[in-house]
A = this chain, B = another copy of it.
Amino acid sequence: MLDDGSTAARKDRQLQAVLDSAGDDGRLEGGFDALRLPHRALPEISLSEVSTRTVFLGRELGAPLLISCTTGGTPRTYEIIARLARAAQVRRLAFGLGSQRVMLEFPEAARFFQVRALAPDVPILSNLGAVQLNYGVTVDDCRRLVELSESDALVLHLNPLQEALQEGGNTNFSGLLGKIEALCRQLPVPVIAKEIGYGISGEVARQLVDAGVWGIDVAGAGGTSWSQIESKLASSPRGRMVGRAFAAWGIPTSRAVVSVRRALPQVPLIASGGLRDGVDVAKAIALGADMAGIAGPLVKAAAASEEALMEYVDALVQQLRVAMFCTGAADVSSLRQVEVIWEGQASTY
């Protein structure tokens, strides 16, 4: 795609579509409502001693939470990511930048991704579509993105359906695995592979990890639905029809987490896609995730106000803490041992 002005414009329209939507419009559920955590009436711990702390990418976090990649790169979106980054810093959460591709053509966009000064102590993740490696982006380009934004890692998002639903999307995904492998070998920071709302299966995750990818963010179905967004944004009736057919596409987040964890017992694993409160976060971790990512609701809250954002973030952490307390899990690694009950298989109490 030559016209990168239009890329930025499209990103803006996408963001606006998310901000305008009432909620998650897809027809799939992440699957968290069908899960239950076992209540312990006698937790034998104190809520105040429950620690949500964890370490991610070598940095101490206040909670196993990632403010997931959404936006950045323009004055308007910088305001939003600045709020998100400040929240990340204050509560010690990981923070993901939106796709930095625009920086590669318009170097002046770089400063609208620079939040390190606002969030000096937490992991910042750079972000780029993996498919760009097939469209001229080099290892050096990636290195530059990471350096300019002083990131701790690079998130490569895999978004075949999203690209396919966009007019003029970048849909050549052939031979990507080899290029990802080369990138992982040469980049000084770890690479995380991530979907954007349709999930990564255990099988694909294994290919990625074999290629040198450090961690996986499943970004499964059940939350922000790109087929719905792209179908709303489509300029032609055909575009809208194509998008709508994929309303129920993808691997529900809970399934993806289980699938990846089964395939790769040790890989750093982020659950995201449709997590909406700290109880969902607790379920995701009990299913096997190390971290939980949230995008849509946080970008909405940040667009509303700094206060709304902090309310949401603090509620998340408190919900997680209370869920841990009520399952008797004093820390994140204990939470990971808690058995999850799938609805209809409640015989395990």
Contacts and interface: CB of A to CB of B under 8 A. Distances in A.
Interface of A: 33, 36-49, 130, 158, 160-161, 163-165, 171-177, 193, 195, 198-202, 204, 207-208, 221, 237-238, 241-242, 244-246, 248-252, 255-256, 258-259, 277-279, 311-312, 314-315, 318-319, 322-323, 325-326, 346, 349
- Can you list the 4 inter-chain pairs with the closest CB atoms, starting with the nearest? A47-B171, A245-B277, A241-B315, A46-B172
A195 B193 CA distance: 44
Given A204-B42, A318-B242, A326 B164 contact: yes
Copies in the complex: 4
Contact of A42 (B40, B45, B165, B208): B208
Contacts of A259: 349
Contacts of A200: 41
Contacts of A158: 41-42
A43 B198 CA distance: 13
B202 A319 contact: no
Nearest to A219: B41
A82 to B, nearest CB: 22
A315 B238 contact: yes
A278 to B, nearest CB: 6
Q: Counting chain B CB atoms within 10 Å of each CB, which of A165, A201, A245 scores highest?
A: A245
B241 A312 contact: yes
Nearest to A312: B241
A250 to B, nearest CB: 5
B160 A326 contact: yes
Contacts of A251: 38-39, 349
